[in-house]
Chain A
C-alpha cells in the first residue's frame, strides 16, 4: 500500500506493507536512524517520535496509521543548524552517555516543555517515566530538562 505523511516538514510517499511499524519505516525506509528500537513490548521508549505533536512510541504505531499526519523525529529538533535548548541542556548537564535512549528522551522533553515551560523535578520524572535509560540514572536527565526550561525562560544562568 502507499502511504504519505510529513516527516520533519518534508512530504514523503512510499510503498509499504500494511504491517510495517512506524519505527522501521523511519529507520529502514527513510534512513532516519536517530529513532531507536530497544524492546518488543512497548516499555523502553527509545522509539519516541511525535505524531501531530504528541509523543508516541513508534514501535507501537503502524506506518500506515501515520498516513496523512505529521511526524517529527530527533533529526527535526535542531532549527537552522541551531540546537534546541533541550539538546543543549543534555550536553551541558551530561544527560546522555551511550546516546541510545537520548533521541526519545529529547522528543519527550521538548513536548513536556511546550506544555509546561517550568516543570518541577517530579513532573519531569513523571513525563519521562515511559522511557528507560540504562546509563545515566536519570538525575542528569532531569537537570538537563531543567537547564532547557531555565534557559528558555531567559532568567538566571544555571551551572551544569
Chain B
C-alpha cells in the first residue's frame, strides 16, 4: 500500500464512541492538561518541608583535588547540608556503576576528569540560597594536562585519565569489530573503484527543553524511598538504585511524571539523582534537584562523537561490493554509554545500510577523554545515526566518483523485497522491506527530475542549489533477551490490562512517554484488539509501584516491544472474554465470531454480547464456565524475537548564499515506512521533530572544546538549536511494509527522522558545492565551515 499523508481518517476523543475504534488519526488524550498548564513535570512537585539541592561543578577538565573547605557554605543561614566526595566515600557512595559496566564518580574524590563534573553539593531551604552557598565552597585544585582530542588519547605521552581503575596505564576504553575482515579485503582488492573518505560525526547534545532533575523523599520510619525523576527507564533506575544505595527494591518507588522531552538524555543515571537521594536520607526531608540548562549541556549524556574512516568498493558501473570502516569513538571520562551490554558500539553494525553487498568489516577503538560521559543519546537508536550517516555519505562519495546520479546508484543496489528476511554481512536480520516504491514516492513528491533541471539552470547562473538524498534502514525494538540486556536486565517489556465491571479499562505499561503520545496510541492498540473505545481506556506509565517491569522508552522500542505486549495482553483478555461469552450465549466457543467490540453467534448476528456485557458478567454474580476465574484482566511480558527494521527515503533541497555561505533548507521530503501505522498524526509529528534535529545537527549544533578542555557549547547562546525560522514546512509521505514478526505489524519510527535527515542535508550541501570541487565537509555546516570548504580547506571538528 502506498499513499500520501492526509488520506487517513480523523478521530477526535469526543467522537470515538460513534466511530470505529482503534488505529487511525486520533487527537491526543495528553493535550487537554498540557494546553492548560496542568501537566505535572518534576520541577512542579512541591512537598511539605522540601529542601533544594545545588551542585558545585569543576571549572577544570583535568585536575587533582587538593582540598575542599566547606565551612563558609555550611555557615550560611538556611543551608542544611554541604556534602563532598570524601563524605560520600565514607558511605561507599562516591562511585556508581554506569549502564555500560564502567563506574562514574558521583562526586569527585581523587580528581576531576571533565569540566562540569560534580564536586560537592549543598542542600538549602530554597533554590537561591543553595546556589549562594556554592559560591562559598573553596576547592583547591592541582591542574593536570587534559586529553581533549580523541586522536591523541592513545599517544604514549598522553596523561592517564582513569587512574582510578586498577592497573590502567592508558586511555584505551574498548576495541570492537564486526564483519569479515579477510573477505572484505579480498573484495576491495578486486574492485574497479575504491573510494575512501574521513567522516566525523561531531559531539552534539539532545538538550530536551526540560532539563534533568529529581525529588527524593526518604521515609526513615518505613525505610521507603519515593523518587520523582526525569527518567525514561523508571524500572531500570529502581533496580540500579537498589544496587547502588543498598535499599531493598520493594521499598523504592520511582515515579517518572510528565517528561518535557527526553531524546535519550534521560536514560542514564546522573550523579544529581544519587545526590538527591543521599540528601533526603541525610536531612530526613524531601529534596529537589533541578539542573539548569548549562549544567545539562556540560555534564549530561552527549551524543555521537565518532571519528570514522569510510571506504566503499564498487564496480565501474555502480555495483557496490563492499563497505569498510575504521572508527575512533570518544566516550569522555567515564563510559556511560547506554547500550545493551553485548553491544558496546550499539547497533553500529548496521552500517551496510539498505544495500545488498558482498562483504563488510568494521573495526573500532573507543577512548577516554576529559569530557562528559555519554555517547548514545539524541534519537540515535544505539549508534544507528552514525552508521547511517557513514554509509549514506560514502555512497554519495561513490556516486560523485562514478559520475552517477545518487538516486540511481541507490536504486541499483537496494536489497530486493524477495530477499527479506535479509541477513547482512554483519549479521543483522532485516525483517521486511520494499525499498524501491519508498524511494520512487519520495522522488515523485520532490519532483526529482525537475529539481535536477532547476539545479542545472541555477548552476549556469552561479547560484548554489543542492539536492541531497538519504535512504536508511533503521533497527529498533531492543530486543531479544537471549542477547540483549542492560546490566543483566533483559530487554523485554511488560503490559497489564484490566477491564473494570462497567467496561472501562486501564492499561499499564513499562515504557515511559516523553511526548511520543503513548497515552493515546496504547489506548488505540488495545481498542483495536478488544473494541473498547480509546476514550474508555486509561494508560498508566512511569510509576514503578503501579506498572509491570520493563526497560523503558528509548531506541524507538516502545511500539516494537511494549506495543506488541499491549496487543497480546488485549488478545489474552479477549480469549477469556470469549469463554465467558460462550456461556452467556449458550453456544460453544467455536460458534462465536469476533466483531470489534462484540462476540456474536455465527449465522445469527442478532445474538451477541459486547465486551462491556462480558466485563460485567466477569465481575458479577452467577457462575462462570469451569476453569474461568472472575475478573477480566491479564498481564504479559513480551520478549521480541527480532528487532523491527523501518526504512525511509529522504530528499533535501538547499540553497546556499555564495556571499555569506549561509545554508537554507528550502524543502525536505520525508517518506517513512514503519509498517502498520497506529496513529498517522502522531507519526507525522515524530518525523517533523526528528527532521528538525537533523537540521540542527547538520547545520548548527556542536559541543566543542578548546585545548584546555573548556566546553564551548555549554549554553543556548552557543549551542544553537533550530527555531521556526531555520526549518521549512515539512513534506511527508509513507509506504506500509509490515513487520512479519510483530503482532500488529508495526515497527518503531520515532528516531528514523533524526537518523535519516543529517546525511540528506549534508549530501545536499556537498551537492551544492560540487562546482567548487567539494567532495565532503564535516558537520555542523555553519557559514564559516561552508566558507572553508568552498575554499578547499575544510576543517574536521574537534
Q: A34-B36, A98-B261, A98-B514 are in contact. Are A134 and B715 (CB under 8 A)?
A: no
Q: DSSP class of B's interface residues: helix, strand, loop or mixed?
A: loop
A24 engages B127 (CB within 8 Å): yes
Q: Which residues of B contact A96 (CB under 8 A)?
A: 31, 34-35
Q: DSSP class of A's interface residues: helix, strand, loop or mixed?
A: loop
Alpha-carbon gap, A140 to B681, bound state (A): 10
**A 41-82 binary contact with B (CB < 8 Å = 1; else 0):** 101101000000000000000000000000001110110000
27 A/B residue pairs, CB under 8 Å, sorted by A: A19-B128, A32-B37, A34-B37, A35-B37, A36-B43, A38-B211, A38-B260, A44-B293, A77-B36, A90-B31, A91-B28, A91-B31, A96-B34, A97-B261, A97-B686, A98-B258, A98-B260, A98-B261, A99-B35, A99-B260, A100-B209, A100-B515, A128-B724, A134-B689, A136-B692, A138-B727, A139-B729
B10 engages A100 (CB within 8 Å): no
Question: In this assembly, does B517 line the interface, its C-beta being within 8 Å of a C-beta of chain A?
Answer: yes
Q: Which residues of B contact A125 (CB under 8 A)?
A: 724-725
Q: A40-B292, A132-B721, A134-B263 are in contact. Are A33 and B44 (CB under 8 A)?
A: yes
A39 engages B724 (CB within 8 Å): no
Question: In this assembly, does A154 line the interface, its C-beta being within 8 Å of a C-beta of chain B?
Answer: no
| Smallest Cβ-Cβ distance to B517: which chain A residue | A97
Beyond A39-B292, A91-B28, A159-B10, 14 extra complex contacts between A and B, CB < 8 Å: A38-B211, A83-B35, A94-B684, A96-B31, A97-B515, A98-B261, A99-B260, A100-B41, A100-B515, A128-B723, A136-B689, A137-B688, A140-B688, A160-B27
A41 engages B717 (CB within 8 Å): yes
Chain B nearest CB, measured from A70 CB (Å): 18
Q: Which residues of A contact B515 (CB under 8 A)?
A: 97-100, 135
| Smallest Cβ-Cβ distance to B12: which chain A residue | A92
Interface size on A, residues (CB 8 A): 61
A34 engages B689 (CB within 8 Å): no
B729 engages A142 (CB within 8 Å): yes
A136 engages B294 (CB within 8 Å): no
Question: In this assembly, does A149 line the interface, its C-beta being within 8 Å of a C-beta of chain B?
Answer: no
Q: A34-B37, A34-B38 are in contact. Are A99 and B30 (CB under 8 A)?
A: yes
**Which residues of A1-56 are within 8 A (CB) of B?**
17, 19-20, 24, 27-28, 31-41, 43-44, 46
B261 engages A134 (CB within 8 Å): yes
**Which residues of B239-259 are within 8 A (CB) of A?**
258-259
A97 engages B689 (CB within 8 Å): yes
**A 95-132 binary contact with B (CB < 8 Å = 1; else 0):** 01111111100100000000000000100111011111
| Smallest Cβ-Cβ distance to A122: which chain B residue | B725
| Smallest Cβ-Cβ distance to B290: which chain A residue | A37
Q: Which residues of B contact A90 (CB under 8 A)?
A: 31, 35
Q: Which residues of B contact A134 (CB under 8 A)?
A: 207-209, 261, 263, 689, 692-693, 721
Q: Which residues of B contact A142 (CB under 8 A)?
A: 724, 729
Residues of B within 8 A of A (CB): 10, 27-28, 30-41, 43-44, 46, 127-128, 207-211, 258-261, 263, 292-294, 514-517, 681-682, 684-693, 715-717, 721, 723-725, 727, 729-730
Alpha-carbon gap, A137 to B358, bound state (A): 39
Chain B nearest CB, measured from A95 CB (Å): 9
Q: Which residues of A contact B693 (CB under 8 A)?
A: 134
Alpha-carbon gap, A48 to B721, bound state (A): 18
Q: A33-B41, A135-B685, A138-B692 are in contact. Are A40 and B36 (CB under 8 A)?
A: no
Alpha-carbon gap, A74 to B38, bound state (A): 9
| Smallest Cβ-Cβ distance to A98: which chain B residue | B515
B716 engages A91 (CB within 8 Å): no
B35 engages A102 (CB within 8 Å): yes
Chain A nearest CB, measured from B701 CB (Å): 12
A94 engages B28 (CB within 8 Å): yes
Q: Which residues of B contact A38 (CB under 8 A)?
A: 209-211, 260, 293
A-B CB proximity, top 10 nearest: A34-B37, A98-B515, A100-B260, A99-B34, A137-B688, A97-B515, A74-B37, A33-B44, A43-B716, A137-B692
Chain A nearest CB, measured from B513 CB (Å): 8
| Smallest Cβ-Cβ distance to B686: which chain A residue | A97
Specify which of A24, A74, A121, A140 is in contact with B685 (CB 8 Å cutoff). A140
B715 engages A39 (CB within 8 Å): yes
Specify which of A27, A102, A128, A137 is in contact with B691 (CB 8 Å cutoff). A137
Chain A nearest CB, measured from B222 CB (Å): 27
A98 engages B723 (CB within 8 Å): no
B689 engages A135 (CB within 8 Å): yes
Q: Which residues of B contact A36 (CB under 8 A)?
A: 41, 43, 209-210, 260
| Smallest Cβ-Cβ distance to B690: which chain A residue | A137
B723 engages A100 (CB within 8 Å): no
Q: Which residues of A contact B207 (CB under 8 A)?
A: 134
Q: Which residues of B contact A17 (CB under 8 A)?
A: 128
Alpha-carbon gap, A141 to B725, bound state (A): 13
A106 engages B725 (CB within 8 Å): no
Q: Which residues of B contact A75 (CB under 8 A)?
A: 36-38
Chain B nearest CB, measured from A91 CB (Å): 4
Chain B nearest CB, measured from A29 CB (Å): 10
| Smallest Cβ-Cβ distance to B35: which chain A residue | A87
B294 engages A44 (CB within 8 Å): no
Q: A99-B515, A140-B688 are in contact. Are A43 and B717 (CB under 8 A)?
A: yes
Specify which of B33, B37, B684, B724 is in contact with A73 (CB 8 Å cutoff). B37
| Smallest Cβ-Cβ distance to B721: which chain A residue | A132
Q: Which residues of A contact B28 (CB under 8 A)?
A: 91, 94
Alpha-carbon gap, A20 to B55, bound state (A): 20
Chain A nearest CB, measured from B378 CB (Å): 10
A39 engages B685 (CB within 8 Å): no
Q: A129-B725, A133-B209, A159-B10 are in contact. Are A39 and B293 (CB under 8 A)?
A: yes
Chain A nearest CB, measured from B683 CB (Å): 10
B724 engages A98 (CB within 8 Å): no
A41 engages B27 (CB within 8 Å): no
Q: Which residues of A contact B688 (CB under 8 A)?
A: 136-140
Alpha-carbon gap, A102 to B293, bound state (A): 18
Alpha-carbon gap, A74 to B293, bound state (A): 23
A160 engages B10 (CB within 8 Å): yes
Q: Which residues of A contact B39 (CB under 8 A)?
A: 34, 99-100
Chain A nearest CB, measured from B677 CB (Å): 14
Alpha-carbon gap, A73 to B33, bound state (A): 15
Q: Which residues of B contact A137 (CB under 8 A)?
A: 685, 687-692, 727, 730
Q: A33-B41, A92-B27, A129-B723 are in contact. Are A106 and B35 (CB under 8 A)?
A: yes
Alpha-carbon gap, A40 to B295, bound state (A): 10
Q: A74-B37, A106-B35, A132-B721 are in contact. Are A98 and B210 (CB under 8 A)?
A: yes
Chain A nearest CB, measured from B728 CB (Å): 8
Chain A nearest CB, measured from B761 CB (Å): 14
Q: Which residues of B contact A35 (CB under 8 A)?
A: 37
Chain B nearest CB, measured from A100 CB (Å): 3
A101 engages B209 (CB within 8 Å): yes
Chain A nearest CB, measured from B25 CB (Å): 8
Alpha-carbon gap, A130 to B692, bound state (A): 16
Q: Which residues of A contact B687 (CB under 8 A)?
A: 137
Alpha-carbon gap, A44 to B38, bound state (A): 20
Q: Which residues of A contact B31 (CB under 8 A)?
A: 90-91, 96, 99
Chain A nearest CB, measured from B132 CB (Å): 10
Alpha-carbon gap, A96 to B34, bound state (A): 8
Q: Which residues of B contact A39 (CB under 8 A)?
A: 292-293, 715-716
A44 engages B716 (CB within 8 Å): yes
Chain B nearest CB, measured from A151 CB (Å): 15
Alpha-carbon gap, A128 to B715, bound state (A): 20
| Smallest Cβ-Cβ distance to A17: which chain B residue | B128
| Smallest Cβ-Cβ distance to A93: which chain B residue | B681
